[in-house]
Amino acid sequence: DSAIVRALKEAAENNKQVTILVEIKARFDEENNIRWAKELEMMGCHVIYGIPGLKVHSKMTLVVRKEEGFINRYVHLSTGNYNENTAKVYTDIGYFTCNEDFARDISDVFNVVTGYSKPASLKRVISAPDDLRDYLISLIDREIKYHKKYKNGAITAKLNSLEDFMIAEKLYEASKAGVKIRLIIRGICCLIPRVKGLSDNIRVHSIVGRFLEHTRILEFNNNDRPRIFLSSADWMRRNLDRRIELLFEIYNDEIKMKLKNILELYWKDNVKSWELREDKEYKKFKMKTELFNAQEYFIQGQVYNGEV
């Protein structure tokens, strides 16, 4: 049984309004999701089964509470699923906030996916399939522009997969302009790094360790004023064209520093990390420095605020 499902049932039993979107097409979880959806409906929950033609892959929770006479909204967004089994073996990051702009955006997203309204203009959240690819390309274009003027363009991205040819072409363009690009991609990578005249400035690492790497973190140097984002989406055509996905920027300086350090620690890994070379082969690092295993470091709780 799922602790999350039990909590939702208990909320409904206590006369709380509970609306749940259950993605029936969730890979490996179809049977469980159908069973849980029926159970939740029987408990009085309002269950939504997604949008025809699109798979809902975003991970979001909105809690609305009346506190001391005021309505307060709390939002949780995540790179990973609300699944106790995968949570034990996947690496993911969740973001919890009561920021009203985030709350308003997520309320609007829920209204869209539940069929109550048409898509609204969002302030803090970028969504697929509407705007996400174009927004990512605009961020890369901005790094190209800054590098041409200030010589400090840099991008670091941690993803599961990179397969979208439009983004790959834009990264090649950025590399040729001199932007330094570091990609930590566990799975599919259709971009070829280290090719002279094309991707000299692109390096690709893949970490395969005790846990399945599942976080999506993006950092754009932004003329030495870094912008950091979390996302549910990989850079794949299916994610950007046929799924409901979310990308959101982190504004809190302390959290930004934590995420920046997480990226640096993953890039530093030379035990479970492989490098994709220009011959399209993955090769282990030659151990010229002290051994460093990022996952083991995180397990020991050695994160996140200090210098890397």
Q: Rounded to an integer, what distance in angstroms lies between the CA atom of residue 153 and that of residue 126? A: 23
Q: Of the given ranges (112-126, 243-257, 275-289, 293-307), which has the lowest mean pLDDT?
A: 293-307
Q: Rounded to an integer, what distance in angstroms lies between the CA atom of residue 225 and that of residue 228? A: 10
Residues sharing a CB contact under 8 Å with residue 74, sequence separation 6 or more, in sequence order: 62, 63, 64, 65, 96, 97, 98, 103
Helices of type H across the chain: 3-13, 30-42, 84-87, 100-113, 132-150, 165-177, 237-241, 253-268, 294-299
| Tens-digit pLDDT profile for residues 51-80 | 888 999 999 999 999 999 999 999 999 999
For residue 12, give the 3-state DSSP assignment: helix
| Tens-digit pLDDT profile for residues 92-127 | 999 999 999 999 999 999 998 888 777 778 999 999
What pLDDT, on a 0 to 100 scale, did the predictor assign at position 272? 97
What pLDDT, on a 0 to 100 scale, did the predictor assign at position 26? 62
Q: Which of 13, 113, 6, 23 is nearest to 62 (CA)?
A: 113
| Tens-digit pLDDT profile for residues 161-180 | 999 999 999 999 999 999 99
According to DSSP, the β-strands at 90-91 and 212-213 are parallel
What pLDDT, on a 0 to 100 scale, did the predictor assign at position 306? 46
Sequential DSSP letters for 22-47: --TT-TT-HHHHHHHHHHHHHTT-EE
| Tens-digit pLDDT profile for residues 139-166 | 999 999 999 999 999 999 999 999 999 9
76 is catalytic: no
Q: What is the CATH number of domain 132-299?
A: 3.30.870.10
Sequential DSSP letters for 132-181: HHHHHHHHHHHHHHHHHHHS--EEEEEES-B--HHHHHHHHHHHHHT-EE
What pLDDT, on a 0 to 100 scale, did the predictor assign at position 303? 55
User: Which residue of the set 46, 57, 147, 205 is catalytic?
Assistant: 57
Write down the domain spans for the chain. 132-299
Confidence of residue 308 (pLDDT cuts 50, 70, 90): very low
pTM: 0.94
Q: Which of 209, 210, 158 is nearest to 184 (CA)?
A: 158
